[in-house]
Every structure is written in C-alpha cells, then in structure tokens.
C-alpha cells in the first residue's frame, strides 16, 4: 500500500479484546498489590511519626545522657540505654558464634539420619517459642540451677537462647546458597573440608549470616519478659555518663523494661518521656541495623559471582 502525505497509514497491529482484558487484569492486580504494600508501610510511618511528635518536648541529647530523677518522672534514660547495650551485645557475643558453628555442622558435616532430623526440627520449633517461655527457662536454668542469680549474665544468656534458632536457620540458608562447585573445586586441589569452609564457604556467605544477626538485634533489644524474669531491675543508681556502670553479676536497667515501667507503674510522668524512650529504643535498633546492612552490602559487592 502506497501512502501519500494526505493519507494516514492503517494500523497493522491492534490489540484484541483478549489482550485488553489481560492488561486490565494486570493493572488491577498491580493496584491491589500497591495498596497491600501501602497498608503495611503507612501504619508504621504513622506510628513512628506519632511517637516523634509526642517525644519532641523531651527528646534531646540531655535526655539520653541524664539519669532518672524524682521517681523517674524527670531526667533521662542513660542507665537503661547502657543496660540495653550490655544485654544486646553480650547475648549476641554468645549466640552468634554458637549459632554459626551449629549451622556449619548441620549444613556441611551432618548426615541425613534420624538424629540430625530431630535437631533440625527442634531448631525450627524453638524459633516459634513465645518469649515468656524462654523467660521461665532462663529463670530456672541460669538464675537458680546455674546460680548466676538475677544478673546481666542470666538475662543475656536467656536472650542468647531465644535468638539462637533464627541465627542457625538464617546461617544455614546462607551456607546453602554457596554453589557446590566452589566446594568441589577446592576438594579437587587437595583442600580439606574445614579449609574449604573457612576460606570459601564462610566468606561468600557472610552477608547472609549478618541478616540473621540483624534480625535478632531488634528482637533482643525489644524483649521485656526474658530480662524482667532474669536480670532487669526497676531502678538502679548510676552516675551520669558512666560507660561501665554495671558488672555482669549485677542487675541492670533496660530500655524496654524502663518503657514499660514509666508507662504503667509510675504516676505523674509526662507523656513525652515514654514516647522519647520509645524513639531512642527504635532509633538505636535502626542505627545498629543500618550499620550491619551497610557492612552486608559492602561484603556482597565484593562477591565475584
């Protein structure tokens, strides 16, 4: 067909009714999925925004560095902030190495038999145990049986037991993501199994291992029941700015416990103080998570596959 400047070429390809119906269905599905994603994000943004607005009158560096005064109706949260750091990092110092080594055994060494299948089932089930059950276990195992008493050590070990299953599960997934060909190449040149794991498998799975650790930082920092039963205390006198106010055999204050206390047990507290405590707890978790995510991204970019 020859066209002239005054004629419009006919369309050779037009959308059929079937194609138009498929496009409408796809657009509808995209809109529904967007609304579902918004339904999960918008409440979080609203809650954080509400907390920040409520906390504004009290939220400051002075609030973080000061100690509670006048029956915790005034002052800051320094003892609780330092106590939370003690509990979180001591629990991770215990659970992370044990969890990683256990995952290495289960993924790299364990045979497929009934005993190892029971261990895998136990790890999966432990990840869903309520925190109050872990609290009662920590009370019986560490406070009474091991005779650590009500202390930072008992609370940290309880948190470590609670966070261990997720670290094991996430580390196993990270180890399994390393291609088998990497292991076979090492074995073919005479490397032992442990040399392969140490030099090839672990370096290439460290970003995934950090994912499990990141998840447990939030959980360990926000749990109240395990530390309430084993080591957290209502109030403890601490010098302002003291970075080492507690010994491992002593009880400590913690942000989650302090937030519960000033919200429900202390009369006459300004509304901004519990909100500011919640913002500090949330901000601390986000800061640790952001740092770990940055390290994970850097390690992932170093991969060659």
More confident of the two residues 5 and 176? 176
Contacts of 3 (CB under 8 A, 6+ apart): 9
277 vs 214: which has the higher pLDDT: 277
Per-residue confidence (pLDDT) for residue 209, from 0 to 100: 86
**pTM of the predicted protein model:** 0.83
Residue 267 has pLDDT above 90, yes or no: no
Average pLDDT over residues 16-30: 88
pLDDT in the model for residue 305: 59
Predicted confidence (pLDDT) per residue in 280-292, tens digit = 998 888 888 788 7
pLDDT greater than 80 at residue 223:
yes
The more confidently predicted of residues 154 and 11 is 154
- Domains of the chain are 79-256 (1.10.3720.10)
Q: Phi-psi bin for 232: left (phi > 0), alpha (psi -120 to 50), beta? A: beta
pLDDT tens digits along 52-105: 999 988 888 888 888 888 888 888 899 999 999 999 999 999 999 999 999 999
> Each residue of 134-152: pLDDT tens digit?
999 999 999 999 999 999 9
User: Which stretch, 156-160, 215-219, 232-236, has highest mean pLDDT?
Assistant: 156-160
């Amino acid at each position: 067909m020859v066209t002239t400047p005054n004629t419009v070429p006919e369309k050779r390809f037009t959308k059929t009714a079937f194609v138009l119906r498929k496009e409408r269905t796809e657009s509808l599905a995209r809109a529904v999925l967007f609304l579902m994603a918004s339904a999960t994000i918008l409440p979080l943004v609203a809650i954080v925004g509400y907390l920040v607005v409520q906390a504004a009158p009290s939220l400051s560096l002075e609030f973080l560095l000061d100690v509670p005064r006048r029956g915790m109706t005034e002052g800051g949260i320094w003892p609780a902030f330092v106590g939370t750091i003690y509990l979180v990092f001591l629990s991770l110092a215990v659970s992370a190495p044990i969890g990683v080594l256990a995952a290495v055994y289960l993924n790299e060494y364990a045979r497929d038999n009934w005993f190892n299948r029971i261990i895998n089932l136990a790890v999966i089930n432990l990840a869903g145990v309520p925190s109050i059950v872990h609290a009662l276990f920590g009370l019986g195992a560490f406070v009474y049986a091991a005779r650590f008493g009500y202390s930072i050590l008992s609370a940290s070990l309880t948190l470590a037991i609670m966070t261990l299953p997720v670290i094991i599960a996430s580390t196993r997934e990270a180890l399994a993501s390393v291609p088998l060909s990497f292991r076979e190449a090492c074995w073919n040149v005479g490397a032992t199994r442990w040399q392969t794991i140490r030099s090839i498998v672990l370096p290439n799975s460290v970003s995934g291992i950090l994912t499990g650790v990141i998840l447990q930082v939030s959980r360990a920092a926000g749990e109240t029941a395990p530390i309430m039963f084993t080591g957290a205390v209502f109030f403890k006198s601490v010098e302002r700015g003291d970075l080492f106010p507690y010994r491992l055999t002593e009880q400590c204050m913690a942000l989650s416990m302090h937030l519960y206390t000033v919200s429900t047990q202390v009369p006459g507290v300004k509304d901004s103080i519990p909100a500011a405590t919640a913002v500090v707890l949330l901000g601390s978790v986000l800061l640790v998570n952001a740092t770990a995510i940055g390290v994970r991204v850097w390690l992932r970019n170093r991969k060659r596959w």
